Every structure is written in C-alpha cells, then in structure tokens.
Amino acid sequence: MKKITLSNGKTVEVECLSCALTSGLIEPDGGVVIETEYFHAHQDVAYPIKGLIILASKRHIKCFDELSKEEKIDYINILSKIRKAQRDVLGIKCVYYFYNEDTTHHFHTWMVPRYEWMYEFGRSVESVRPVLLHARNNMNSEENINDVMKAINDITKELNN
Ligand SMILES: [Zn+2]
C-alpha cells in the first residue's frame, strides 16, 4: 500500500491511485470529466491549469502495448473527443500529451494545454515540468481555482451532452 496525499489535502492509502480513481473509490475534485467503458478522465486540480486533463485506463496496465484492441479504439476516440472539447469550449490551441510507462500508478495520459504564459518557462517540452511545479506552488489563488473549476464544469457538460 502507498500513502498518497490528494489535492484536497486528504491522505489515502491505496495500492494504485489510478485504480482508486477509475473505480470511483476516490472522487477527484471537480468530478469525472467523462467516462467510457475502458477509460476515465478527470482534472488533477493539484495542478490548477485550465483544461489540463488526465485520461486513465480502467485496467491496471502500464504499457501502451498492453492495451486490447477495444481499448486502443476507445483510447484514440476519447482522447480526440476531449481534445476537441478543449478547443471548442476553452479555446485551447495546442496540447502537450505525455505518459510514462514507469509510473507508480497505472496507464494515464496527461493532456497539458499550452498557454502563452508558459513560454517564460521555456520554449517547448522542456518547460512542462517547471510549468507544472509553478502551477502547483503558485497558482492556488481562489480566483484561479474558481476559473479551473468552471472550466472543468464547462468541458464536462460539453463532453456529456
Ligand atoms: Zn491501477
């Protein structure tokens, strides 16, 4: 079991945070953005960036080549659907996608929107880590959190209507 501190400050002990989230054991702040048979999307509000989405598989797998045929199709469909909602609802022009197979949780893709303010942290992929840390440590004002929550609401509505 691992002890994990959630974005709301609560501590939980789970085998795998992704399993706990996708099974509904832990409700993410802002709720589930969209869910399919094989995937589950939410925003990790510990990184309060508007439109940042984490898309996790429901099955406890780590690597891309472990996805079943059905999961692969579901993945690309849901990923592109979320991407479209980020554009249509939040005006997001570019998104950075990444996932690492050596995660301590399980298969999840980060969809990190690229905003103008991020250029001060570097030109491209090199800026992602500093941007995330900056967001986590310095963007917790009530105003920004409210903006992020509203964005989650809007994107959730768009994806589920
Ligand atoms: Zn898991």
pLDDT per residue as tens digits for the range 34-92: 999 999 999 998 999 999 999 999 999 999 999 999 999 999 999 999 999 999 999 99
Give residue-wise pLDDT tens across range 115-145.
999 999 998 999 999 999 999 999 999 999 9
In one letter, which amino acid is 22? T
Q: Give the separation between CA 140 and CA 63, rounded to whole angstroms.
A: 33
Asked if residue 6 is part of any domain, the answer here is no
Please report the pLDDT score of residue 10 as a whole number: 78
CATH number at residue 62: 3.30.428.10
Looking at residue 114, the DSSP 8-state letter turns out to be E
Domain that holds residue 40: 28-160
For residues 66 and 27, the model is more confident at 66
Q: How many structural domains are present in the chain? A: 1
Which DSSP helix (H) or strand (E) runs through 150? Answer: helix 142-160
Question: How far is the centre of ligand 1, averaged over its atoms, from the C-alpha of 142 (Å)?
Answer: 32
Asked if residue 80 is part of any domain, the answer here is yes
Question: How far is the centre of ligand 1, averaged over its atoms, from the C-alpha of 31 (Å)?
Answer: 19
Asked if residue 5 is part of any domain, the answer here is no
Q: Which residue has the tokens 């399919």?
A: 36
Kindly tell me the sign of the dihedral angle through the C-alpha atoms of 74, 156, 125, 94: positive
CA atoms within 13 A on the CB side of 3: 3
Question: How far is the centre of ligand 1, averaged over its atoms, from the C-alpha of 36 (Å)?
Answer: 16
Please report the pLDDT score of residue 3 as a whole number: 81
Question: How far is the centre of ligand 1, averaged over its atoms, from the C-alpha of 119 (Å)?
Answer: 34
Asked whether the beta carbons of 22 and 40 are under 8 A apart, the reply is yes
Please report the pLDDT score of residue 132 as a whole number: 96
Asked if residue 84 is part of any domain, the answer here is yes
Asked if residue 23 is part of any domain, the answer here is no
Asked whether the beta carbons of 62 and 73 are under 8 A apart, the reply is no
Q: Give the separation between CA 118 and CA 54, rounded to whole angstroms.
A: 19
- DSSP H helical ranges for 15-101: 17-22, 69-90
Spatial CB neighbours of 117, under 8 Å, sequence gap ≥ 6: none
Asked if residue 1 is part of any domain, the answer here is no
